[in-house]
Structure 1
Amino acid sequence: MDIDVMAMAEKLVKLRGKKTQEKVAEELNISKSALSMYELGKRVPRDPLKARISKYYGKSIAYIFFNEKEHEK
């Protein structure tokens, strides 16, 4: 599976909603600049961070990072 970095970036911004980058970065224990790079599609997080981001937002890794459709629950 390949990562569509622009789709990933858009989803990360959308999932963050009204929270600030500072708040989300702090809660994920990463720098604001790292989060910004992910949200701009300039970097892709490593697998352990993908898992933390997925858990934080309550979405699957496949949905956020691999552009799979979200299943209805």
Structure 2
Amino acid sequence: MEIVEMDAKAIGERLMELRGERTQAETAKELNISVSALSMYERGERIPRDNIKIRIAALFQKPINEIFYP
């Protein structure tokens, strides 16, 4: 079994791309997280916890693997 590392910068870029025209404030409110947390995810400073990954995938209607694993 291969272990796949998550690339925080690549995840951040995908999150910004998925957010599109929405503001960080709108998106953070929909995800029930702080704007600063979303900003850190988008800058690649942090990777969301699993429960947040699930919310992000649901909001953007994408599989978790597509967003977080290359």
- TM-score, normalised by the number of residues in structure 2: 0.92
2:45 is the counterpart of 1:36: no
User: What RMSD in Å do the two structures reach over aligned CA positions?
Assistant: 0.6
| Unmatched runs of 5 consecutive residues or more in structure 2 | none
Partner Cα distance (1:60, 1:40) in 2: 21
Shift of 1:53: 0.3
Alignment equivalent of 1:49, drawn from 49, 52, 63: 52
Aligned-residue sequence identity (percent) comes to 51
Q: Residue type of the partner of 1:27?
A: E
Query: Which consecutive segments of 4 or more residues in structure 1 shift more than 4 A?
Result: none
Question: Per-residue CA shift, 1:15-71, capped at 9, x if unaligned?
Answer: 00000000000010000000000000000110011011001101111111111xxxx
Q: Residue type of the partner of 1:18?
A: E
User: What is the aligned length?
Assistant: 67
Alignment equivalent of 1:23, drawn from 26, 30, 34: 26
| Unmatched runs of 5 consecutive residues or more in structure 1 | 68-73
